[in-house]
Structure 1
Amino acid sequence: MNIPKKFAVTTMVVATSLLAACGSTTTTTSVPVSQQIAYNYGVVDSIQIVQVQTERRGPGAGALVGGIVGGVLGNQVGGGSGNTVATVAGAVGGAVVGNRVEQNNNPPQVREMYQITVRMDNGSYQTITQDAIADVRVGTRVHIENNRVYRL
């Protein structure tokens, strides 16, 4: 199978862009970072079970397959620079459609998480949401590290 060089390069650029779009999420707390380091010890004030909707992942296999198929179909149109434009447009359009199909077929899930409120030694409160609590209970002395609560 002889694939034109410009199509291979276009496909690589689209695939790299899609993978780069996959980002990570961050969690914020009510205490500034400088205080988290100095004051990361406290006592559990409350624990609540909350329903958390899992985030949909960024573009995945649907976008990749859609981009490749769209690029192949776009490559069949026109000649010269028009062919290059059609190939790129087909790859981008296919990636968007493929991603939409994947998202529609993989709806977000709801799961239970633990929302732990800790009364810190400095008098402030910090709320952490995590997936398990192990042996942490209300009144337990804990420390917070990397946005997780650990029993002392």
Structure 2
Amino acid sequence: MKSFHSFLGSLTLLLAAVLGTASTTADARRYDYCRNCGVVREVYRDRDQDRHLGAGTVIGAIAGAALGNQVGKGDGRKAATVAGAVAGGAIGHNVEKRNRGSRDVWRIEVEMDDGGHRSVTMSSNRESLRRGDRVQVRNGQAYLYR
């Protein structure tokens, strides 16, 4: 009788270990395999404006100062240099601003499997992602999960 109870105890422990391992392994496999997957909640097109202005202003100011320095003598030359720098900087700023402009981007809001949220900004929506699509997020891009 003692060996029967020992056998049942061992069998119970073995079953608990096998079932616990299988459950843990299945959970680990699911999250290890696709811990960066989720469902698209929002997709919208947006205008992304480049706000990094500066080089055009600097180059314009230098060119304007150089041209202004060619005019006059003494204090008049100094005033012309300053005026040339200011005018050149303003012109350079406007030229750069006009040339940089803005571009269309796609913003994809993803509810991740782990409960988190990710916002992905892409230059195109080449996979035609829509709300409800299952995606994988890799390298800052969202891809249909197949």
TM-score for the superposition, normalised by structure 1? 0.50
Partner of 2:135: 141
Q: Is the 8 A contact 1:71 1:91 kept in 2?
A: yes
Match 1:123 to one of 102, 115, 126: 115
Gaps of 5+ in 1: 1-38
| Contact preservation (8 Å) 1:63, 1:96 | yes
Alpha-carbon distance in structure 1 between the residues aligned to 2:50 and 2:108: 21
Partner of 1:49: 44
Within the candidate set 78, 94, 102, 2:95 is matched to 102
CA RMSD of aligned residues (A): 3.6
Say if 2:40 and 2:110, in contact at 8 Å, map to a contact too: yes
The answer to whether the 8 A contact 1:67-1:93 is kept is no
Q: Percent identity?
A: 12
Counterpart CA distance in 2 for 1:40 and 1:132 is 24
Please state how far the C-alpha of 1:107 moved relative to its aligned partner.
8.1
TM-score (norm 2): 0.52
Could you list the runs of 5+ residues in structure 2 that have no partner in the other structure?
1-33
**Mapped pair 1:74 → 2:69:** yes
**Structure with more of its chain in helix, by fraction:** 2
Q: Against the structure 1 CA distance between its residues 97 and 60, is the aligned structure 2 distance closer, same or farther, given a 3 Å change threshold?
A: same
Radius of gyration: which is bigger? 2
